[in-house]
Amino acid sequence: MSGNVRVAYSGEPGAFAEDALIAFFGESATSLPVGSFGDVREALLDGRAQFGILPIENLVNGTVRETLDLVRDGALEIVGESVVPVNLVLAALPGVTIDEVTRVYSHAQALAQSEPFLRTRTWQLLSTYNTAGAGASIRERSERDAAAVLSPRAAKLHGLVELASGIERDPGNRTRFWVLRTTGSSADLSTRTGAPRTTLLVGVRNEPGTLLAVLQKFAAAGVNMSKLESRPSQGGDWEYVFWMDLDAGASEPALQGVLRDLAAVTSELRILGSYPRGAAL
């Protein structure tokens, strides 16, 4: 991608979201760090960024439901995905030894993912808004009795020294990020290739068998569903919509046929994106 492309992500430099950004767009892209997932959406809608990066799923912690809600209204379109490993280290200011550490900062999920290691000592564990931000905070406050759990790249960026590496509970853990743009945007990713995935939003009537009827149509057409998630519909009490990841492109005849058939058994139906699947690093 051109170095002129601007990509918004939530967090400090060194955050896993920035890892996903670099993996997808390369080092030449212009990163726009913002404070929250919602701020990524706003940066796209107000034109400060052409693309945005938001996490959608972690192998250990599951779906990031806030991201689902942020694309619920169709203002954003999923155009790609980036999958990055979750490698964690314990890091502190230069010269600090592990025996001097009394408290450890990180995002709650990173603390949970490294809990077996962290519980080998009597450290106070404190949650922050993201992993890289924990490192930045220690550096800014010159805390010489604290450490952070973060990625090796984030530790280096924020001037910290690794005290222990590979502290994650599951060495195979990865996070999948969506690459987003505003719906109808001219920002182009047409050169991307890979096995297709389509993400679908489906609403069904609150009646027996309606969801089963939807699933049967996919099965009959031979379209594999790799993910199914429910969220409140926002249209009525105790009513839900379903998010589906399908292993097919939106232009494929089999999926187009299913979508035509679904009109009779759904109350809402929207393609949120059809894009190449991301390969794990």
The 10s digit of each residue's pLDDT in 65-90 is 999 999 999 999 999 999 999 999 99
pTM: 0.91
Q: Is 129 contained in some domain?
A: yes
The 10s digit of each residue's pLDDT in 42-73 is 999 999 999 999 999 999 889 999 999 999 99
The 10s digit of each residue's pLDDT in 150-208 is 999 999 999 999 999 999 999 999 999 999 999 988 877 766 778 999 999 999 887 88
Query: Phi and psi dihedrals of 31, rounded to 5?
Result: -85, 140
Q: Is 190 contained in some domain?
A: no
206 in the same domain as 269: yes
Q: Is 191 contained in some domain?
A: no
Q: What is the CA radius of gyration of the chain?
A: 21
108 in the same domain as 73: no
97 in the same domain as 228: no
Q: Is 11 contained in some domain?
A: yes
Confidence of residue 234 (pLDDT cuts 50, 70, 90): confident
Single out the residue of 259, 250, 251, 249 nearest to residue 218, CA to CA. Answer: 259
Confidence of residue 1 (pLDDT cuts 50, 70, 90): very low
CATH number at residue 26: 3.40.190.10
DSSP character for 129? S
26 in the same domain as 138: no
Look over the chain and give the mean of its residue pLDDT values, rounded to a whole number: 93
Single out the residue of 243, 256, 269 nearest to residue 57, CA to CA. Answer: 243
